[in-house]
Amino acid sequence: MPHYDKSLVWFRRDLRCDDHAALHYALKESRLVFCAFIFDKQILDPLLACGTRADRRVDFIHASLQSLDDELKRRGGALIVRHADAVAVIPELAQELSIDAVFVNHDYEPQAITRDNTVEKHLKADGRAWHSYKDQVIFEKDEVLSLAGKPFSVFTPYKNTWLKKLQSTTGLFDLSCLAPHDTKTGQGKLASPAKLSPMPSLTAMGFETTNLSKLSITPGMQGAQALLDDFLPRMKNYRDARDFPAVKGPSYLSVHLRFGTISIRALAHHATQAIASGQGGDGAMTWLSELVWRDFYFMILYQHPHIVQRAFKPEYDRIQWESGPAADVAFTAWCEGRTGYPLVDAAMLQLNQTGYMHNRLRMVTASFLTKDLGIDWRRGEQYFALKLNDFDLAANNGGWQWAASSGCDAQPYFRIFNPVTQSEKFDAEGKFIRRYLPQLAKLDARRIHTPWLLLKQNG
């Protein structure tokens, strides 16, 4: 017999039907299961206050929800979508539908933890249960610890322990850790309210349709699967191709991982299968390592929430960053792609025009802002948070503190990415630079990296 009569699955950053922990357990434990998503005003209102109406992330979520709703309806349910304060509306919705329990997947960001604790408190005061599950990572919180039982702060030993945890006693990968959560067996339990209001439009919420289609970004589960299908044959070349921004090397799945339109278990499963079969080359292990980095940064954020405002290493909070009018001018030039260094400027223009930036270029631009211009990493972090389609607090903060040498397992403070040598090495022919700086298109592959030398020669 089901433990609950009626339950509610609250979707957040997990916008899919398959391999979904909260949905799996809700279907297992309930007679009827309703599904909901809240466009949380606590998150959206600050974007509108900044004048951000054309936000690709909101557009991506909205389109992904339509895809999710279609699939839920095909399975006999529907998605309830509200534009409200989530803390208030989830308890209200639970009362409206006579819900016995709310099922969610864990969120590790400090604000989200506070939100969830508040919602749980309200629900329990009304006699309703709250259940939260691991879903967006492979290993979380205290699951990967040192021999002393402490959280790691250095990646390599964390990764080694992570990999050992995934291996069976035979030394092979234990794929049971990556088994998908079954959401099809009980899909007949999915329910829809008697009166289902239409999903609020982007316009009604104060936002606008963006250029996702022009950028060939397909939201939803279908978009994620198409990218995965495209990447799997290329995975074996990932290690060699991933550092070159003009080459089709990455999977481009980061925005789908961010909003959960694909399961992290599915991706890790493909990587480990390729490694175990010997067909993945060095690329599969390198890609799996990137997924481990993702788990690592979530763990760091959970264990050290102070990093949201301060340096992981407290001594680095004593740095006197450049400030005042001159620093503001330099920061604006960096934001707008007007530093004069072609690779830095092309990367920033890519970010501004598309919401995407190649990972190698994230390191180059972050190093340039903090080490060359001497500007506080938090200013760059906030700019990326505003612009990146795949913005994720844990990874963004981790990357910026790594570049600034203030974070866990960060590069040494004396290591600086030379924007010229990086350009010559990773965009040798200048193909990426020409794409975003057409005014330099006529320069040859040698001069395009240092166009200011032409002015000296012609001076």
Q: How far apart are CA 394 and CA 256, in angstroms?
A: 16
Q: Which helix (DSSP H) or strand (DSSP E) does residue 441 occupy?
A: none
Tokens representing 231?
């990447």
Output the pLDDT for position 170.
Answer: 55
In terms of domains, do 298 and 391 share one? no
Residue 191 lies in a domain: no
* 8 A C-beta contact, residue 253 and residue 290: no
The mean of the pLDDT values for the chain is 95
Pair 152, 63 in one domain? no
Average pLDDT over residues 366-373: 97
Strand partners, 32: 6
Q: How far apart are CA 434 and CA 95, in angstroms?
A: 57
pLDDT tier at 118 (50, 70, 90 boundaries)? very high
Looking at the fold, whether 229 and 91 belong to one and the same domain comes out as: no
- Kindly tell me the sign of the dihedral angle through the C-alpha atoms of 88, 89, 93, 94: negative
pLDDT value of position 168: 63
Tokens of 435: 């794409």
The residue among 322, 311, 262 whose CA lies nearest residue 291 is 262
User: Which amino acid is present at 94?
Assistant: A
Split into its structural domains, the chain has a count of: 3
- Give the Cα separation of 135 and 121 in Å (integer): 22
245, 268, 303 - which closes a domain: 303
Q: Would residue 151 count as lying in a domain? A: yes
Domain that includes residue 225, residue range: 136-179+221-303
What is the predicted pLDDT for the residue at 410? 65
Are the C-beta atoms of residues 81 and 35 closer than 8 Å to each other? no
Q: What is the pLDDT of residue 415?
A: 84
Matching residue, tokens 């921004």: 245
pLDDT the model gives residue 179:
93
For residue 196, tell me if it sits in a domain.
no
CB-based contact 209:56 (threshold 8 Å)? no
Residues 342, 447: contact at Cβ < 8 Å? no
Domain holding 360: CATH number?
1.10.579.10
Instruction: Indicate the range of 38-42, 165-169, 255-259, 301-305 predicted with least confidence.
Output: 165-169
Q: What is the mean pLDDT of residues 267-280?
A: 92
User: What's the distance, CA 260 to chain centroid?
Assistant: 9
3-state class of 355 per DSSP? Answer: coil
142 and 129 part of one domain: no
Count of Cβ atoms closer than 10 Å to residue 288 Cβ: 26
Question: Residue 161's domain is classified under what CATH number?
Answer: 1.25.40.80
Which of 91, 143, 98 shows the shortest CA–CA distance to 4? 98
Residue that finishes a domain, picked among 75, 101, 133: 133
My answer on whether 321 and 391 are in the same domain is yes
202, part of any domain: no
For residue 343, the SS3 value is: helix
Query: What are the pLDDT digits (tens) for 289-320?
Result: 999 999 999 999 999 999 999 999 889 999 99
Return the pLDDT at 175: 75
What predicted TM-score, i.e. pTM, was given to this entire model?
0.95
Percent of the chain with pLDDT over 90: 89
One domain for residues 81 and 33: yes
Same domain as 416, residue 330: yes
Question: Average pLDDT of 282-295?
Answer: 96
Name the pLDDT band for 59 (thresholds 50, 70, 90): very high
Residue partners of 289: CB distance under 8 A and separation at least 6: 159
The owner of tokens 């604006």 is 332
Query: 168 and 273 in one domain?
Result: yes
pLDDT tens by residue, 148-186 = 999 999 999 999 999 999 886 556 677 778 999 999 998
CB 219 within 8 A of CB 261: yes
Q: What is the pLDDT of residue 126?
A: 97
The Cα–Cα gap between 231 and 253 comes to 9
| CA max distance for the chain | 85
Q: Is 168 exposed, middle or buried (0-12, 13-18, 19+ CB in 10 A)?
A: exposed
Distance between first and last Cα of the chain = 85
Q: pLDDT value at position 237?
A: 96
321 shares its domain with 453 = yes
Residues tagged active-site: 290, 293, 321, 359, 377, 400
Verify that 158 and 115 share a domain, yes or no: no
State yes or no: pLDDT of 286 exceeds 90. Answer: yes
Give the pLDDT score at 99. Answer: 98
pLDDT at 270: 95
Q: Is the pLDDT of residue 145 over 60?
A: yes
Distance of CA 294 to the CA centre of its chain: 9
Residue pair 37/193 in contact by the 8 Å Cβ criterion: no
214 is a domain residue = no
Report the pLDDT averaged over residues 125-151: 96
CA distance 459 to 445: 22
Q: Is the pLDDT of residue 418 over 80?
A: yes
Tell me the pLDDT band of 351, cut-offs 50, 70 and 90: very high
Does residue 119 sit within a domain? Answer: yes
DSSP string across 190-234: B---SS-PPPPPTTTTT----STTTTT---HHHHHHHHHHHHGGG
Q: Kindly indicate the confidence band of residue 50, based on its pLDDT and cuts at 50, 70 and 90.
A: confident
Q: Is residue 21 part of a domain?
A: yes
- The pLDDT tens digits for 206-222 are 999 999 999 999 999 99
Q: Are residues 331 and 266 in the same domain?
A: no
* Residue pair 101/128 in contact by the 8 Å Cβ criterion: yes
pLDDT of residue 34: 98
**CA 403, 407, 408, 409 torsion-angle sign:** positive
Q: Are residues 48 and 92 in the same domain?
A: yes
Cross-strand partners of 145:
151
Q: Which two tokens stand for residue 137?
A: 């990572």
Q: Which two tokens stand for residue 457?
A: 């020669």
